Amino acid sequence: MSDRRGSTLTASSTRTFAGRIKSLRPTAMALALRSIPVGFLLTGVAIAPATHAAEDTLPTVDVTAHSDTNTTGYVAKGTTTATKTNTSILETPQSVSVVTRDQMDQQNAQTLNAAVRYVSGVTTETRGGVATRYDLLMVRGFTADTYLNGLKLLQNNQYAVPQFDPYLMDSIDVLKGPVSVLYGSAQAGGLLDQESKMPTARPLHEIGIEFGNYAHKQATVDLSGPIAGDDHYLYRFTGLVRKEDGQVQSTLNERIAIAPAFTWRPDDRTTLTLLALYQHDPRSTSYGSVPPQGTTQPNPNGKLPSDFYDGDPNFESFNRSQESIGYKFERLLNDTWAVRMNGRYLHLSQDYKSVYGSGLEPDLRTLDRGTAASSDTLNTVSLDNQLEGNFATGAVSHTLLAGFDYQHLASGYLWGFGSAPSLDVFAPVYGQTIDPPALSMNHVSSTQYGLYLQDQARWNNWLLTLSGREDWSHTDTRNDTFGTQDNQSDRAFTKRAALTYLFKNGIAPYVSYTEAFVPQAGTDRTGKAFDPERAHQYEIGIKFQPPKYNMLFTAALFDLTRENLLTSDLVNPNFQTQSGEARSRGLELEAKASLTDSLNVTASYTYLDTKYTKDNSGLAGKFVAAVPQNQASAWAYYTLNRGPLAGLSLGAGGRYTGTTYSSDNSFEVQSFFLVDATLRYDLGRASSSLKGSSLYVNAQNLLNKKYVASCYYGSWCAFGYGRQVFAGMNYKW
């Protein structure tokens, strides 16, 4: 059963808004720092002033862009994700969280889910600790899309779903709520944009080895710097090899990944970066489940162990290969205008077979099972072209962004379901004869393109953001086995409006409204094609960035509604109608601080009220499955710089996930609290001959809490991550 829903090289220095610029390396992306008044240096080019009307009234805000030295600590003040211009988080009128490379390293995040565990509004354990082959998570109670370098990772809505290792990434941006106004078709929850490690002008060399429980073994390499000492030509090479047992018995996880990149900077106005990526996952852990009886609910026969396996090792397989090549191009045309171009081609091939449980018999020990199989190929092309201008009309300064993007997907897949022998869950016998399911040949081709326009207008301390976009999409589907064919075309307009006030003390309250849409395949009982699902969000929030301190505090209240959801047709239950609706209302609090070079802290709290408000199948008024009402987390990492323990770093954190509900709300899944911890020692503090070397140990779910992470589809539940312990060594030179 298919149940998933699931910056380029810039300056190495700190950029400063409204009146201050520090040592700036040449790059065209600096044009996107639209708060710098006209007349200051931009990518090393002197620009004649157009106006100074706003530069004396806006507060001074230090912004660290994506750089060749990376953001230090946990506070990334600048992001391009929410506006596609390099805007400070303080000035971004929508909730966005950035997980930096430092945070990922210190928490030893090895999946996207693990990387965003401490982010407000994100529910990461919707499939527990088993289904690591896909990034299955929710943002603000709904599905979110994954992106790579600002371009959507397209999928075929079956099993061909791209996934890349977080070790290859420099940061992860989480933009919460509808995002269609800049990105086109998008899920209501938002997006997670993974930013690749980029070539650096400063030489960087790092290798690492790591071991852990579940027979975990891993080796990494990260190399970067100028080619032959010429900083017009830069390179980066990142690689990883990993092998480990799955947390479910009889399963394995294997991965090899490499990501080479090359940057050419022919002059101060131009940057071209080529990015390639190859990842092969010859094995992946279970995609199964456990029944609620014996896990979250009583079972007279006993409790199931947390490593229970509902499949069969002689039948199951998973093999996925992914290759991509892309580019980032930036060119400063003149003192006012710049162009940016971003593109990627991605190929994915995958073979998948699985046995899955479908529910217990009345004896509460015999598990009925079925089979699923798929052989997929996926080819995608994604393009995004932008024109940005920075100018003034009287007392109002503008950052105007116009763009055109294009997405194309072509996929062919053999796909089918079958039956499998039942299994005694308390005395399982594996290696049974299982016939592969009959497969049908399917093809899907989809194209989407859109035009968007955005203006970030400033007057004194006010910032008004207005955005609009028109999208066109077309999808063709064909089943060669049954001789069926269908096509569907959609068109949608989305918009965003937001107002921010910037106090000189670093406080920035804002209000915003934004929209999203997702095309839906199929027709109702009259033969009318379904309209796209629509979503809209109202958000009010406040952000605080104390001057002279590397801290960021955010708070947001939001009301997010999904409309045109498919639900049962009351006239003819064999058909669906678009009268469904779901709503998520909530509060998000988040704090990030790098108080000194020694102390990094992140903390968050989320309250979510996520329910179906309209539904014909009995879900109206019920909670969305696997979404907790309350979540909280806190993490601190401290390095001792003096005394006999100088060079020792200690990190610890806790994560609380509140009660969740099954898909029909017939039972609850208990809350849980998990503890993480880490120790690291810089060997160079003990001996100069060991400079650049460090040892570390990391534990996730340190207390080995046994818990069910979520239940979905009524009869499917998933155990959460057990204790994971990693020990390793890094060497940098």
pLDDT for 247-274, tens place per residue?
999 999 999 999 999 999 999 999 999 9
Pairing of strands 190-196, 145-148: parallel
> In the structure, what pLDDT confidence band is assigned to residue 78 with cuts at 50, 70 and 90?
confident
The sheet that has 138-139: what strands, in order across it?
Answer: 122-123, 138-139, 142-143
Q: What is the largest CA-CA distance in the chain?
A: 81
Predicted local distance difference test score (pLDDT) of residue 714: 77
Q: What is the pLDDT of residues 190-207, one digit of tens each?
A: 999 999 999 999 999 999
> In the structure, what pLDDT confidence band is assigned to residue 366 with cuts at 50, 70 and 90?
very high
Residue 471 DSSP SS3: strand
Alpha carbon 302 to its chain centroid, in Å, reads 38
Model's pTM, two decimal places?
0.89
> In the structure, what pLDDT confidence band is assigned to residue 70 with cuts at 50, 70 and 90?
low
Q: Give the residue carrying structure tokens 């190495």.
A: 12
Between the alpha carbon of residue 548 and those of residues 61, 304, 427, 506, 595, the distances in Å are 9, 54, 63, 10, 11
Nearest to 496, CA basis, from 94, 86, 34, 32 = 94
Amino acid at 55: E
The DSSP element (H or E) to which 181 belongs, if any, is helix 180-183
- Report the alpha-carbon distance of residue 521 to residue 535 in Å, rounded: 17
Alpha carbon 710 to its chain centroid, in Å, reads 20
Nearest to 389, CA basis, from 336, 341, 339 = 336
Alpha carbon 676 to its chain centroid, in Å, reads 21
* pLDDT beyond 70 at 294: yes
Which positions ≥6 away from 578 have C-beta within 8 Å? 520, 524, 530, 531, 564, 565, 566, 567
The single-letter DSSP state of residue 162 is -
594, 609 contact by CB (below 8 A): no
Nearest to 565, CA basis, from 142, 191, 199, 206 = 142
For 105-215, where are the E strands, in sequence order?
122-123, 138-139, 142-143, 145-148, 151-152, 169-176, 190-196, 204-212
Q: Which residues make beta-bridge pairs with 452?
A: 403, 469
Average pLDDT on 568-578 reads: 93
> In the structure, what pLDDT confidence band is assigned to residue 564 with cuts at 50, 70 and 90?
very high
Q: What is the pLDDT of residues 437-482, one digit of tens each?
A: 999 999 999 999 999 999 999 999 999 999 999 999 999 999 999 8
The DSSP element (H or E) to which 182 belongs, if any, is helix 180-183
